[in-house]
Amino acid sequence: MAKDKKKKEVTEEVTEEVTEEVTEEIVDKVCAEELEETKEPTLEEQIETLNNTIKELKNNMLKQHADLENTKKRLEKERVTERKYAAMNVCKQIITPLDHFDLALKHEGSTEEVQNFLQGFKMIKEQLSKALEEQGVSSIDALDEEYNPNFHQAIMTEKVEGKEANIVLEVLQKGYMYKDRLIRPAIVKISE
Q: Model confidence over 115-160: pLDDT tens digits?
A: 888 888 889 889 988 988 988 898 888 888 888 889 988 888 888 7
For residue 37, the model assigns a pLDDT of 59
Exposure letters 31-57 (e unless 16+ CB within 10 A, then b): eeeeeeeeeeeeeeeeeeeeeeeeeee
Residues 6 or more apart from 130 whose CB is under 8 A from it?
none
Domain boundaries in the chain?
61-135, 137-192
Tell me which fold the domain 137-192 belongs to. Nucleotide Exchange Factor Grpe; Chain A, domain 2 (2.30.22)
Q: Are 190 and 168 in contact (CB under 8 A)?
A: yes
- Mean pLDDT over each residue of the chain, to the nearest integer: 84
For residue 2, the model assigns a pLDDT of 63
What SS3 state is found at 36?
Answer: helix
Residues 6 or more apart from 141 whose CB is under 8 A from it?
none
Ranges of residues in the chain with a pLDDT under 50 are none
